[in-house]
Structures are given as C-alpha cells and as structure tokens.
C-alpha cells in the first residue's frame, strides 16, 4: 500500500480521543467513519462534531462551505462492520485493556479489507501483543496520538518486529498528511517516548505529594514556573484522564508483576470515586460546566 491509496479512515472508539481524531481526519480531507459500542458516547461525539465545526466557522477559522464539506465526510455509526468495510486505514482508540484490544483486532481483521492497516492508538500496549490476534500482523502497528488530538502535533509511530516497512512508512506519511509531527520508534518499548519521560516526572511528583512534602498545586507550579512546562503533572493528569493513568499503571503491573508499577494510592482513591479529571468535572482540581 502507498499513502496515495489511503482515502478512507475508520476510528474505533468515539471517546475523548476517538471523536477528536475523527473530526481531524475529516478536516484533512479523508472520508472518515467513527464507531463505538456505547450509543450515548456516539451521540455525544456526533454532537461535538457539529458544535466544533460551528465554532470554527464563528471564529472565522473555517468557511461555512468547508465546514459543510467536512461534516459530509464524517459518518458516525454503531455498526463496526459499516465503519470498517471500506476503510483503507483503521485507528483503534478503545479502552486501554489488552484483552479488549485483542478481541477487537480479531474482529477488525475479519471485517476490514485485506489492504487495510490496523493501528492502535494505545499509549502503552505495544502492537506485538495484539498483532497475532489477526491474520495480517505485518499490517498492525502503534500510532499514538496525544490528547487533545485536534491540537497536539506529536504522533509516535512504533515499528514492532512484526511490522512491514510499508506499514510504518504509510503510517508516518499519514501523520504528515494530517498536519502532525511524527516521530519514529525503531523498536518497541513500554510507554514509548514522551510518556516514559512524563511518567518519570509524574511518579516523582506523586511520591512528593503522597509523602506530604508539597501539595499537588505547588508541585504543578514548580513544573510550570520553574521548568517552563505548559501545565504541571497533576493538571496534565486531569486533562488526559485519571482513569487512563490508573488503567495504564494496572496494565504495567499485570505485565511486570512489579508493585512499583501500581498506581499511587491517591490516584486509586480518585479513580474509585469516579473523579477522572476534566471529563467528570473533578479530579485533582474542580471544573465548572464550561
């Protein structure tokens, strides 16, 4: 497959990452389908698309005609078959759970055209742990976008030992066509690049907070006003989702058996309360309706 062959993209999962990816792909000229097993999530995603495009028009960033064409390229459906049966490139953005992803990729393998590349947006699970659930392991890779996907430029393209050169080449070029800045990982590694660096910072910040050495507010201030970060590790955790932090740490623990990989007690506490950050209105910080 060549990048010129990629005309239709399917996004699997309409959550916080998936629905933004779908809108972005449509904005960049691709016929895009977005699907989710949760009909309420799908409705919210479709509503977001309409309000986002209207907002761009109101701000003069997009003409009414461009917004109409973009919306025409975007389809939301609860049918996985309908979403992928004509797709050239598929990006999975479902829950961060290995068993779920393996089951899903097995289904995608049966439903999608043989030409289609199957990419996972997982922030931690390497594609070699998923690829053998399909009959096209050479067409399976990691394509890790960052939240919010409509804004963040970086995408990590990860070449697993099973990946064909064409698969990663097309994936890299697709990122460029989407206006992103791709970085290539020539080998798989847990957490990839940026999350490994940010994870080390977050782990230390959580320890300092748990030990009562400093509050999370002051630790965030230190990162912003001392290191020049756009936001501190706790504010970033609220943005990406405390539930995601919890699930990633639990997945790491299941993989290694090392108790040091378990989520911090304060993260577990918020996860159990459903305090996931911005998406729930409360995490480390409180968020109003707007």
DSSP code per residue over 247-264: HHHHHHHHHH--GGGSPP
- Catalytic residues, which ones? 123, 144, 156, 195
């Amino acid at each position: 497959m060549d990048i010129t062959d990629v005309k239709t993209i399917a996004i699997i999962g309409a959550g916080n990452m998936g629905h933004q990816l779908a809108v972005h792909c449509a904005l960049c000229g691709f016929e895009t389908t977005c699907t989710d097993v949760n009909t309420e999530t799908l409705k919210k995603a479709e509503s977001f698309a309409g309000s986002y495009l209207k907002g761009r028009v109101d701000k003069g960033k997009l003409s009414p005609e461009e917004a109409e064409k973009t919306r025409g390229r975007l389809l939301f459906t609860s049918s996985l078959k309908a979403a992928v049966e004509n797709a050239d490139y598929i990006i999975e953005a479902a829950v961060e759970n290995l068993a779920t992803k393996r089951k899903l990729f097995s289904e995608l393998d049966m439903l999608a055209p043989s030409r289609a590349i199957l990419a996972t947006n997982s922030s931690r699970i390497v594609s070699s742990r998923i690829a053998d659930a399909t009959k096209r392991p050479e067409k399976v890779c990691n394509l890790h976008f960052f939240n919010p996907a409509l804004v963040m430029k970086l995408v990590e393209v990860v070449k697993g030992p099973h990946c064909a050169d064409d698969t990663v080449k097309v994936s890299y070029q697709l990122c460029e066509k989407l206006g992103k800045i791709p970085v290539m990982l020539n080998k798989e590694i847990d957490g990839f690049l940026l999350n490994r660096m940010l994870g080390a910072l977050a782990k230390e910040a959580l320890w300092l907070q748990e030990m009562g050495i400093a509050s999370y507010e002051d630790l965030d201030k230190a990162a912003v006003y001392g290191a020049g970060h756009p936001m501190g590790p706790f504010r970033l955790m609220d943005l990406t989702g405390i539930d995601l932090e919890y699930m990633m740490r639990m997945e790491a623990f299941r993989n290694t058996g090392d108790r040091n990989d378990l989520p911090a007690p304060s993260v577990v506490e918020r996860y159990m309360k459903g305090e996931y950050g911005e998406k729930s209105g409360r995490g480390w910080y409180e968020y109003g309706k707007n």
